[in-house]
């Protein structure tokens, strides 16, 4: 489903930052993987590369056996719109659109009629507990509310792949649990492949596997067992 082969990404020239260094990773369809690691270890860089918003300096990234570097811009955009839901660390909501419009957007871009899209977006806002904020713009909402709008936007088209950058980072533990339950539900219903950056061990228990990054390298990959999932 998703495969990274010897992927490196460096930034700058005089003083080179090696954000990712020779990363190899395979995600099977329906697999849920938590990405953990200290600040600056390359987690967001990894997600940006997989969703095609950034390009590796060296190495290859394949989605369903297609090397995304071989696609032109239009095809890459289409792939992202159809297959990948992304929850950004900084949310990336469109500031001039209301919550309802932000959440409807992926459907509209995929050609769904406005009325239908807004109906589905309304239901999704309800699921993230923000039915009462439909007409609010991002600057009229709290950080946690914006995060939930970003989550609703990513989930609205039930993408086969979900990339989530600290999706519960700004939420209190109860709201965070609700969001994780929503991801569980999505996974159960659609067998969604999930790659989720988190600093939270509890959130990692909602995954099948945990990979740990340090200095741009994967230093460990371990299965989440039922035993650990029970907190023993
Ligand atoms: N556009 C960029 N230009 C220059 N350096 C960058 C750029 N993006 C990331 N970096 C550097 O690459 C490294 C990895 O960054 P990244 O954002 O992937 O870290 P992270 O693991 O997501 O950290 P955090 O937990 O703080 O979000 C950092 O040292 C960062 O400063
Ligand atoms: Mg990050």
Banded model confidence at residue 226, pLDDT cuts 50, 70, 90? low
Instruction: State the CATH class of domain 2-229.
Output: alpha beta
Percent of the chain with pLDDT over 90: 90
pLDDT digits (tens, 9 = 90+) for 87-110: 998 899 999 999 999 999 999 999
Query: Is pLDDT above 90 for 231?
Result: no
Average pLDDT over residues 47-60: 95
Helix boundaries (H) for 86-159: 99-109, 114-127, 143-155
Asked if residue 20 lies in contact with residue 184, where contact means CB atoms within 8 angstroms, the answer is no
Query: Is pLDDT above 70 for 27?
Result: yes
pLDDT digits (tens, 9 = 90+) for 173-223: 999 998 999 999 999 999 999 999 999 999 999 999 999 999 999 999 999
Written as six digits, the tokens of 57 are 């300096």
User: Is the distance from the beta carbon of residue 19 to the nearest atom of ligand 1 less than 6 Å?
Assistant: yes
Atom of ligand 1 nearest to the CA of 216: 14
Q: Could you tell me the pTM of the whole model?
A: 0.93
Asked if residue 145 lies in contact with residue 98, where contact means CB atoms within 8 angstroms, the answer is no
Ligand 1 pocket mutation pick from 43, 51, 163 by most atoms within 8 angstroms of CB = 43
Q: Which residue has the higher pLDDT, 61 or 227?
A: 61
Q: Compute the distance from residue 164 Cα to the ligand 1 centre, in Å.
A: 16
Asked if residue 68 lies in contact with residue 161, where contact means CB atoms within 8 angstroms, the answer is no
Q: Whose Cα sits closest to atom 12 in ligand 1?
A: 19
Q: Could you tell me the residue ranges of all domains in the chain? A: 2-229
pLDDT (0 to 100) of residue 232? 44
Nearest ligand for residue 45 CA: 1
User: Is the distance from the beta carbon of residue 42 to the nearest atom of ligand 1 less than 6 Å?
Assistant: yes
Q: Which residue has the higher pLDDT, 232 or 118?
A: 118
């Amino acid at each position: 489903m998703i495969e990274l082969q010897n992927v490196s990404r460096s930034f700058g020239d005089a003083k080179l930052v090696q954000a990712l260094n020779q990363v190899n990773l395979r995600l099977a369809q329906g697999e849920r993987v938590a990405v953990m690691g200290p600040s600056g270890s390359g987690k967001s860089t990894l997600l940006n590369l997989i969703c095609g918003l950034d390009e590796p300096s060296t190495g290859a990234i394949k989605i369903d056996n297609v090397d995304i570097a071989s696609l032109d811009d239009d095809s890459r955009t289409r792939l992202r719109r159809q297959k990948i839901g992304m929850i950004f660390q900084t949310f990336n909501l469109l500031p001039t659109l209301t919550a309802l419009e932000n959440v409807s957007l992926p459907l509209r871009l995929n050609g769904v009629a406005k009325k239908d899209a807004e109906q589905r977006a309304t239901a999704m806002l309800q699921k993230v507990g923000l039915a009462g904020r439909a007409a609010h713009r991002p600057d009229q909402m709290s950080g946690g509310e914006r995060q939930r709008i970003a989550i609703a936007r990513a989930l609205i088209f039930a993408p086969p792949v979900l990339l989530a950058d600290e999706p519960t980072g700004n939420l209190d533990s109860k709201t965070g649990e609700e969001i994780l339950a929503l991801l569980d539900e999505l996974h159960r219903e659609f067998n969604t492949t999930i790659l989720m950056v988190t600093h939270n061990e509890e959130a990692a228990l909602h995954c099948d596997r945990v990979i740990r990054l340090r200095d741009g390298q994967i230093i460990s990959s371990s299965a989440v067992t039922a035993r650990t999932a029970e907190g023993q």
